[in-house]
Amino acid sequence: MSYDAHNIYYRFDDHLSRLVLDYEASRRVDGASERLYHDIPSEEYGEDIFHAYDVKRGLRNVDGSGVVAGLTRISDVHGYKRVDGKVVPDEGHLILRGYDIEDLITNAQAEGRFGYEEVAYLLITGELPTAEELDDFNGRLGAYRHLSSEFVRQFPITTVSPSIMNALQRAVLLLYAFDADPDNITPEHEVDVAISLLSRLPRLAAFAQTFHSAQVSGKRASVPIPEAGFSTAEAILQILRGEDGYTREDAMLLDVMLMLHAEHGGGNNSTFACRVLSSSGTDAYSAYAAAIGSLKGPRHGGANAKVVSMHEDIRAHVSNWEDEDEVAAYLGKILDKQAFDGTGLIYGMGHAVYTLSDPRAEVCRRYARTLAAKKDLGEEFALIERIERLAPQVMRDHGMTKPICANIDLYTGFIYKMLGVPETLFTPLFAVARMAGWSAHRMEELFCAHRIIRPAYRPVIDPLEYKPLADR
């Protein structure tokens, strides 16, 4: 059977003004293709088979703790203790290069200065910068915000997409072509690439957002160039708000969010993806693009946007936000897959490491409460707090036994909404911040580990006898 690709696979997209692949409309499912589409192996592997072969499902131990796959001097994500070989819940702490994240935030805020750049320097070098070193680092970040006119011409053409994360991936890979020595993996070049991406990702995300919106609306796209002396938080807000402006308080809060998202251990999905690719010796752009691809997933960085959608759904279907029984009942419907997106997940609750508390969520809650009061959004904030308080018991009533605490995503989207950040940029901002941690882990993997990451999968297949084509 022959297929005419031009006739069956393409349709004109009114929004983007281009031909796009339309798989669903062009798919032909008949006798010859029935098995191709409907017999894909999809039988779920039950817990019993993992236990039988002693396989660490999801690289997790039976007690839920992560399988130790490497060593790191970059950060410590503490959520439990081990007592007599058993996991014991504990208050959460996030330690970056030996410093508690709350101390880093508190001191920067107390001094009335932006702290994300200090955290990025700390992660990359392992040391807190002096005032002179921090000024030099900030100067380099400012200089790298410039993008060549040739890149600016090519970028919109090659990266227009409804997904800003997808556009970011392709933008990072495109930057490979604008690097005079892209496969160089010396420490000096790795630092240069890290600084360039730390500086450029906010503008690249804004480009992607602006050009997509322009194509949909038919309006001309314009992305301002941030001033060289701006902090990362100020640069982001200038790009987003332009002439509308922003307050110093807004920028300081966004700076806090960037610090909280800058790093979270080597075992989270995107950082591990970055380390896996880096262990092969591939170039920096490929490794960081992979990390962005991982972060896009709704089980990882994409969860912050999911939380916002869930909150909107709860507000729409719960008539009395102050009625705890009604709120709890609706949370139960979500767990039963009878409400919201049908996944059975209460987004923003629970974490792979944290048990009693997520220190990042604790910080977010404090700042969210203050900002919500100023913006007359106290009732919405109170509902989120109510979800945080009620969800653990509802989840226990549904058979969940592990300790459940709110994670950072429960409050992140709410804060971004109050700061006027479009929902499409929630996860890209996560990527902007996490670039600091990714770069630190990539360099640790390249220069300290020296072994390709290559785990094993246990085969559970039976041998079969090959049949000639005529006999099938």
- Model confidence pLDDT, tens digit, residues 372-415: 999 999 999 999 999 999 999 999 999 999 999 999 999 999 99
Phi, psi angles (nearest 5°) of residue 93: -140, 140
What is the model's pLDDT at position 120?
98
Examine the residue annotation and report whether 351 is marked as an active-site residue of this protein: yes
Tens-digit pLDDT profile for residues 402-414? 999 999 999 999 9
What is the model's pLDDT at position 85?
86
Q: Which two tokens stand for residue 49?
A: 């088979």
Choosing from 22, 300, 313, 341, which is the catalytic residue?
A: 300
Classify strands 86-96 and 18-21 as parallel, antiparallel or unpaired: unpaired
Bridge partners, 225 (sequence order): none
Phi, psi angles (nearest 5°) of residue 83: -125, 115
Q: What is the mean pLDDT of residues 449-463?
A: 94
CA-closest candidate to residue 272, choices 297, 236, 241: 297
Examine the residue annotation and report whether 15 is marked as an active-site residue of this protein: no
What is the model's pLDDT at position 16?
67
pLDDT band (50, 70, 90) for residue 5? low
Classify strands 86-96 and 75-83 as parallel, antiparallel or unpaired: antiparallel
Q: What is the mean pLDDT of residues 342-356?
A: 95
Q: Could you tell me the CA-to-CA distances from 403 to 91, 236, 261, 440 in Å, in that order?
A: 11, 36, 23, 31
Total Cβ atoms within 10 A of residue 339: 18
Q: Which CATH superfamily groups domain 303-418?
A: Cytochrome P450-Terp, domain 2 (1.10.230.10)
CATH 1.10.230.10 maps onto the chain at 303-418
Q: What is the mean pLDDT of residues 26-34?
A: 84
Q: What is the signed CA dihedral for 180, 278, 304, 112, rounded to 10 degrees?
A: -70
pLDDT at 137 over 70: yes
DSSP per residue, 72-94: -SSEEEEEEEEETTEEEEEEEEE
Choosing from 351, 358, 398, 450, which is the catalytic residue?
A: 351
**Distance, CA of 322 to CA of 328 (rounded, Å):** 11
Phi, psi angles (nearest 5°) of residue 91: -65, 145
Examine the residue annotation and report whether 93 is marked as an active-site residue of this protein: no
CATH of domain 96-298+441-449: 1.10.580.10
Mean pLDDT across the chain, nearest whole number? 92
What is the model's pLDDT at position 54?
93
DSSP tally for the chain: helices H, then strands E = 20, 5
CATH 1.10.580.10 maps onto the chain at 96-298+441-449
Bridge partners, 95 (sequence order): 76, 100
Total Cβ atoms within 10 A of residue 219: 10
Q: What is the mean pLDDT of residues 266-274?
A: 97
**Distance, CA of 280 to CA of 231 (rounded, Å):** 34
CA-closest candidate to residue 117, choices 259, 302, 310, 329: 259
Choosing from 212, 255, 409, 441, which is the catalytic residue?
A: 409
Residues 6+ apart with CB under 8 A from 39: none
Q: Which amino acid is at 42?
A: S
Task: Give, to the nearest 10 degrees, the angle between helix 164-176 and helix 149-159.
Answer: 140
Cβ contact 288:440 at 8 Å: no
pLDDT band (50, 70, 90) for residue 361? very high
- Work out the burial of residue 460: count CB atoms within 10 Å of its CB; fewer than 13 is exposed, 13-18 middle, 19 or more buried: exposed
Q: Between these two residues, 264 and 24, which has the higher pLDDT value?
A: 264
Residues 6+ apart with CB under 8 A from 78: 90, 92, 93, 94, 95, 353
pLDDT band (50, 70, 90) for residue 206? confident
What is the model's pLDDT at position 7?
65
Q: Between these two residues, 215 and 321, which has the higher pLDDT value?
A: 321
Tens-digit pLDDT profile for residues 143-186? 998 888 898 888 876 667 778 999 999 999 999 999 999 999 99
pLDDT at 104 over 90: yes
Residue whose token pair is 């001191």: 107
CA-closest candidate to residue 178, choices 191, 163, 161, 192: 192
What is the model's pLDDT at position 207?
80
| Local structure of 320: helix, strand or coil | coil
| Local structure of 437: helix, strand or coil | helix
CA-closest candidate to residue 251, choices 382, 422, 363, 371: 371
CA-closest candidate to residue 236, choices 219, 216, 257: 257
What is the model's pLDDT at position 96?
98
**Distance, CA of 296 to CA of 317 (rounded, Å):** 28
| Local structure of 99: helix, strand or coil | strand
| Local structure of 18: helix, strand or coil | strand
